[in-house]
Chain A
Amino acid sequence: MDFFAHQDDARRSTRRLVALFALAVLAIIAALNLVAVLAMDLAQDRHPLSPDQRWQAHLVVSVASAALIALGSLSKMWELRAGGAAVASRLGGRPVEPGTADPAERQLLNVVEEMAIASGTPVPAVFVLDHETGINAFAAGLGADDAAVAVTRGTLLQLDRNELSGVIGHEFSHLLNGDSRLNLRLIGVLHGILLIGLTGRVLLRAVTMPHRGRRDRRGGGGGVVLVLIVGGIALIVIGAIGTFFGRLIQSAVSRSREFLADASAVQFTRDPGAVAGALKRIGGSLTGSLVRASRAPEASHLFFADAVARQWTSLLSTHPPLAERIRRVLPGWDGRFPPPLNTPIVHDPQRRPSPDEAAHEAADEVTHAATANAMAGRSMGPDPHATAPTSPVDVAPPAASRRSMGPATAVSALAGTVPETAVHDAQALIGRLPPEALAAAHDPYSARAVVHALLLDGLPAARARQIALLHARDPAVAALTSHLHAGIAAAGAAARLPLVDLCVPSLRRLSAQQHRAFVDDVRALISADDRTTLDEWLLARLVIQRLVPRPHGALGRVHALRPLMPAAAVALSALARAGHPDDETAAQAAFTAASALFSELPLGPLRPAKHCEPAGLDEALDRLGDTAPKVKRRLVDACAAAVATDGARSPRENELLRVICGCVGVPVPLAG
């Protein structure tokens, strides 16, 4: 199952969950009516009711409970529309500053950044649940642009870097597979059912409070109070039913995905010991993975391991049993958990292996993992203390300059995965970045300059014009931009998208006014010279898009390919022309290669250059971004064909492809 199939599957699961939810609501309404019948029978002798009145009472109960559930669900879904960060805050998460100096947090951010760059997604917002001592983590978000990853304090204190990367890999798998969106929606939907029990508790507390002055003095008060108490208890009981159904739905949706996420984590980290180590730590620790936050139950399906105590029946657990998960990942496990840690973990915030270290590490990884797991203690995984990053001059990747990514692995098959070497390549790439640029990316003020520097033109004359434009708006930022430019330009095409992805968390900290000013600056830079290349334009568009996520909706989601042909033609023409700037015939050839993938539908001729101007391309990309997964799969492959020359892509072309796929919401991992 590839990325697109996963997305489709997640959407099908959403429909299943809605069906289950509807069933639950009907069951609850039925139960409430049953209680109403009992209550009316109980009060039969004092307040006899005609059949008509009974029927009305049933109607009231049904409508009221349906309204309450609907309101509960809708209000919660409205609250969560802000995405992952909203969930993290509600669970008590504290955002981690991108420029943090705390070693544990720095290490966490490094791991998250490496995984994000490896998978071609923007770095998610990172949170820490300070008040939780259990070992747990979660990922939430409606899409790549509002994703959040959170870990507990216990995780930072008890897991080493390797185990942490296993946990983060697991969470990224959820983000990449569309699980996190489904899970977020689930919280909102379930809230309606859980609300009934809550209302019952509130009612009961209100009635049993001593100072109920007015109510007690009312005539016939005894009967009313009795009904209210019965009502309260009934609502709590019904609420328990609601909770039961809620848990059932949560577990139905999340359990199977947990095995998949574990398997993906193994693939991403290339080390079964990473995830297994984390799971074993949970098994061996005193607090396990329990999360104490009061809102934890409604979000329990989001977590890495069981956040609430396992119920009397494993049907209601959101996660498969620990032992089973460990065995699936490490078939040879001896069944023993490590003892709780008695020495604190040493955090290495520096950890970025130099390029040659990475090569050695790759070879040793497997043997290390095996021996590490044989030991009962924590894995003495390879954790080389980084040598200082090499000077900015030495930034060319070790291998040959023109790398070919052949058509052997279709891009659509690669999308949403983290191939074998991707994480190590990401670490190496980060290590090669100029240190100034890296530090600048972690601070909102200077991250703007990094983005500006990425958008500066290649020719000195045009560049001078752009700097002058920036200078008129903000001299200090202009100075910083030209200062950073040399190093960033030398880092090569492969570093452009990763730098943008690194800057995104810092840029999200901009206030609304600062953000507007920044977007204006970016747009001005792009239009400053008439020779904006597609590379720069797409990168600018991607940055803006990452900062202002477009609403995700099923409405307007196009399923068929035919209506998209004009938009696809514009996008593919733009790509073909960008790949072969002065060579019309080569562009035509590339475009034809792309059209061949749409054999049954007419793509039309290569569009003239003026059709590929920003306005038209903007609209085209908007339309293409809003399509169903299986349509996107074909588009992605067509884009890959359009940008290649004789079936091979240079680093620049590869980057172009990754950026345009990012614009339509398809993460393409780092390659080689």
Chain B
Amino acid sequence: MGPGIIIAVVVGIVALIVVGVLVAIYNGLVALKNRFRNAYAQIDVQLKRRYDLIPNLVETAKAYLAHERGTLEAVIAARNQAAAANTRVAANPGDGAAVSGLATAEGVLGASLGRLFALAEAYPQLKADATMKQLSEELTSTENRIAFARQAFNDAVMQYNTARESFPGLIFAGGFPGAQLLESTQNAREREAPKVTF
């Protein structure tokens, strides 16, 4: 058996193995990408709960804060913006611009909610209202869940980004755009607000 044939066979087998390994790396990146995209679904569920709570909250507050319409309308507007931003991200969690947009919109919503709660401080009847207590309690619990889901999403994004930036995932980096972490959805003011006890 000529040496040429042996070399050809060995080279062939090595080539096949290399191809196999490359395929495995590619599929690994695909799996990580799918994981972070699916992780967004958790955030989506919780955000939607939050967006559903807010109109009820505003309705309840309206009875007591009739002449603070500006604040209330600001909350509703911010909520609508944030809901739209969420829909955009849910359609494609890999879209960095959409994710940044959501973070911004959520920040605005947080600020306006903070103003609402700060305002409510001055109205003891509102504070004592049972519905109001229940809704703000649910809002707080939803905040916790959002933070938790966001942590899971960011963990998955980090894993994906790390894989595509380091060797050997680097080989395919071109076909896999980097993903964006979701910034905190609470700004300083809102971080205070849910802790306001009623």
Do A and B interact? yes
Chain A positions near chain B (C-beta within 8 angstroms): 56, 59-60, 63-64, 67-68, 71, 74-75, 78-79, 82, 86, 89, 95, 97, 99-101, 443-446, 476, 480, 509-514
The answer to whether A56 and B41 have CB atoms under 8 Å apart is no
List the 6 shortest-distance A-B pairs measured between CB atoms, nearest first: A511-B155, A511-B152, A445-B148, A445-B145, A56-B5, A75-B20
A100-B45, A509-B39 given; A444·B152 CB < 8 A: yes
Residues of A near B2 (CB, < 8 A) are: 56
Contacts of B24 in A (CB 8 A): 75, 78-79
Measured between beta carbons, the chain B residues less than 8 angstroms from A510 are 152
B149 touches A445 (CB 8 A): yes
Say whether B9 contacts A64, CB under 8 Å.
yes
Contacts of B27 in A (CB 8 A): 79
Nearest-Cβ distance from residue A285 to partner chain B, whole angstroms: 29
Contact of A56 among B1, B12, B19, B31 (CB under 8 A): B1
CB distance from B54 to the nearest CB of A (A): 16
Bound state CA distance, A71 and B155, in angstroms?
A: 33
Contact in complex: A71, B39 (CB < 8 Å): no
Q: Which residues of B contact A480 (CB under 8 A)?
A: 141
Whether the pair A514, B17 counts as a contact (CB closer than 8 A) is no
Which A residues lie within 8 Å of B23 (CB)?
Answer: 75
User: What are 25 A-B pairs with beta-carbon distances under 8 A?
Assistant: A59-B5, A59-B9, A64-B9, A67-B16, A68-B16, A71-B16, A79-B27, A86-B31, A89-B31, A89-B34, A97-B41, A443-B45, A443-B46, A445-B145, A445-B148, A445-B149, A509-B39, A509-B42, A510-B152, A511-B39, A511-B151, A511-B156, A512-B159, A513-B155, A514-B148
Report chain B residues within 8 Å CB of A514: 148, 151-152, 155
On chain A, the residues within 8 Å of B17 by CB distance are: 71
| Segment 1-39 of B: residues with Cβ below 8 Å from A | 1-2, 5, 8-9, 12-13, 16-17, 19-20, 23-24, 27, 31, 34, 38-39
Which residues 142-191 of B have a CB within 8 angstroms of A? 144-145, 148-149, 151-152, 155-156, 159
Known: A68-B16, A445-B144, A446-B145. A60 touches B42 (CB 8 A): no
Contact residues, B35-61 vs A (CB, 8 A) = 38-39, 41-42, 45-46, 48
Give the CA-CA distance A443 to B149 in the complex, in Å.
10
B42 touches A476 (CB 8 A): no
Closest to A512 in B: B155
B-chain residues with CB within 8 Å of residue A444 when the two chains form the complex: 42, 148-149, 152
Q: For the complex formed, measure the closest distance between the CB of A364 and the CB atoms of chain B, giving whole angstroms.
A: 37
Number of A-B contacts (CB under 8 A): 74
Interchain nearest-CB distance for A379 vs B (Å): 33
Q: A63–B9 Cα gap in the complex (Å)?
A: 8
A97 to B47, CA, bound (A): 14
Question: Which size bracket describes the interface of B in this complex?
Answer: 20 to 34
In the bound complex, CA of A247 to CA of B19 (Å): 26
Inter-chain pairs besides A89-B34, A512-B155, 13 sampled, C-beta below 8 Å: A59-B9, A64-B13, A67-B12, A71-B17, A74-B20, A89-B31, A444-B42, A444-B149, A444-B152, A445-B144, A509-B42, A509-B152, A513-B151
Cβ distance A605 to chain B, nearest Cβ, rounded Å:
49
Nearest CB of B to A446, in Å = 7
User: Closest CB of chain A to B84's CB: distance in Å?
Assistant: 19
Q: Label chain A's interface by main secondary structure.
A: helix
Nearest A-chain residue to B38, judged by Cβ: A95
Q: CB distance B42 to A97 under 8 Å?
A: yes
B5: chain A residues within 8 A (beta carbon): 56, 59-60
Min distance, Cβ A322 to any Cβ of chain B, angstroms: 34
Q: How far is the CA of A299 from the CA of B100 in the complex (A)?
A: 40
In the assembly, what is the distance between CA of A63 and CA of B159, in Å?
39
- Expressed in whole angstroms, the minimum distance between the Cβ of A604 and any Cβ of chain B is 48
What per-residue 1/0 map shows which CB atoms of B80-100 lie under 8 Å from chain A? 000000000000000000000
Contact B152 A101 (CB under 8 A): no
Name B45's contact: one of A64, A74, A99, A512 (CB within 8 Å).
A99
The reply to whether A64 and B12 contact each other, CB–CB distance below 8 Å, is yes
Give the chain A neighbours of B156 by CB distance below 8 A.
511
CB neighbours of B155 from chain A (8 A): 511-514
Query: Taking CB as reference atom, which chain B residue is nearest A86?
Result: B31
Whole-angstrom CA separation of A337 from B22 in the bound complex: 49
Q: What's the Cα separation between A115 and B149 when bound, in Å?
A: 28
Provide the bound-state CA to CA distance between A99 and B47, in Å. Answer: 12
A476/B45 in contact, CB under 8 A: no
Nearest CB in chain A: distance from B164 CB, A: 17
A480 to B137, CA, bound (A): 12
A95 and B12: CB pair below 8 A?
A: no
Q: In this complex, what residue of B is CB-closest to A513?
A: B155
The distance from the CB of B147 to the nearest CB of chain A, in whole angstroms, is 9
Chain B contacts of A512 at CB under 8 A?
155, 159
| Interface hub of A56, A79, A445 (most chain B Cβ within 10 A) | A445
Q: Smallest distance from the beta carbon of A74 to chain B beta carbons, Å?
A: 8
Neighbouring A residues of B141 by C-beta, 8 Å: 480
The one of A60, A443, A445, A476 in contact with B9, judged by C-beta atoms closer than 8 angstroms, is: A60
> Which B residues touch A78, using CB under 8 A?
24
User: Which A-chain residue is minimally distant from B52 (CB atoms)?
Assistant: A101
Given A446-B145, A509-B39: A67 in contact with B45 (beta carbons within 8 A)? no
**Closest chain B residue, CB of each to CB of A56:** B5
- Report the bound CA distance from A74 to B9 in whole Å: 20
In the complex, chain B residues whose CB is within 8 Å of the CB of A86: 31
C-alpha spacing A89/B16, complex, angstroms:
26
What is the CB-to-nearest-CB distance from A627 to chain B, in angstroms, rounded to a whole number? 32
Contacts of A71 in B (CB 8 A): 16-17, 19-20
- B6 CB to nearest chain A CB (Å): 9
